[in-house]
Amino acid sequence: MGDASREILQRARQHVPEWSPAQVHEALAQREKGQDDQSIVLVDVREKHEWNEGHIPGALHVPRGFLELQIEEKVPDKSKTVVLYCAGGVRSLMAGATLQQMGYENVISMAGGFGQWKGSGLNYVLPRTLNEEQTKRYSRHLLIPEVGEAGQLKLLDSKVLLIGAGGLGSPAAYYLAAAGVGTIGIIDADVVDETNLQRQILHNTERIGQYKAESAQKTLKALNPDINVVTYIERLDETNVRRLVAEYDVILDGTDNFPTRYMLNDAAIIENKPVVHGSVFRFEGQLTVFKPHEGPCYRCLYPSPPPPELAPSCAEAGVLGVLPGTIGLLQATETIKLLLGLGEPLVGRLMTYDALSAEVNELKLYRDPQCPACGENAHPEDLPTYADVCALTG
């Protein structure tokens, strides 16, 4: 260390108070017991590779090189007591002086740093990290502060169930797989035929006659071997819906018939799972999120289904091939927002898209307090699913 560095360190030590690891440990213990105002924030200013080798539980990671850029976002309240630590207590002193210049009122440096903490036998954790291949694959996510490594690990631990591997399920599954959603379940008992290929991009000509779920699995695993794709070659019905819904974090609805939508809605309410709903018709698409106990459910919007003649399927009415791609990608976006707790999901809002006019509109949706599925006196387990109301076939 040169003379100039020694002088800077000496000045920092004169102005930045120091606590021993034992003092820091005691202060954190008091915070956990609720015996203080819980205003202490612990900040690790070491580099990422040091953090990965172990850190103090509950610490925020703000590397010294990014301190000025990130600390105000991580610790916006400058009246809090900020305890900084590094490997040996030098960088934390320098960082403390910087925070004082930025207006932080109570800054402490932990003497001896993490080395002395660890040497004193105090508790520390080894964080779970991405491996080298994952770090490369998801590098663009890691650059986003709102996602980062912690968010990517959360995605890898997440489970999403797709109801259908068709027009909506195809683009949604593709991008969820690319994003690294760790487990994607697909329930679909249909087989691929030529009419699907205009919009169902998980499949191809060589797979005509194969089960859609199996075709989807091949495509997604080829795109991202890092994930698990679980197939259910069966119909979603009363015998399996609650069991399947309970196993996943978010349900992505790609169905095109009313009975399945009602049945899925009721099971999701019982199991307290959000449903990302999408629908398409010719040139128009709709999108919303049904999150139990936070917004309306499907039965709030549609207390009863329309007559069969007013509920045509894509086979009869047709759909512009790219439209399911647009809505399916938005479903994937809403799903990731739910998994990571980001932004404002479309709960209580219905987004409509007109492909011909390129117009996007939003309608406010309200929960019906008398709804038989999610209202005050609801009994979703006893409701009809209108199995006799089916889309007309072409």
Q: Which domains does the chain have, with CATH numbers?
A: 3-119 (3.40.250.10), 158-382 (3.40.50.720)
Q: CB of 350 within 8 A of CB of 287? A: yes
Smallest Cα–Cα separation from 271: which of 159, 387, 152? 159
Q: In what order do the strands lie in the sheet with 284-290?
A: 228-232, 183-187, 159-163, 250-253, 275-281, 284-290, 349-354, 359-364
Question: For residue 154, how many other CB atoms are within 10 A of its CB?
Answer: 18
User: Going residue by residue through the chain (394 aa), what tens digit of pLDDT does each one get?
Assistant: 566 677 777 888 889 999 999 999 999 998 877 755 558 999 999 998 899 899 999 999 999 999 999 999 999 999 999 999 999 999 999 999 999 999 999 999 999 999 999 999 999 999 888 999 999 999 999 999 899 999 999 999 999 999 999 999 999 999 999 999 999 999 999 999 999 999 999 999 999 999 999 999 999 999 999 999 999 999 999 999 999 999 999 999 999 888 899 999 999 999 999 999 999 999 999 999 999 999 999 999 999 887 666 665 555 578 999 999 999 999 999 999 999 999 999 999 999 999 999 999 999 999 999 999 999 888 998 888 777 554 433 2
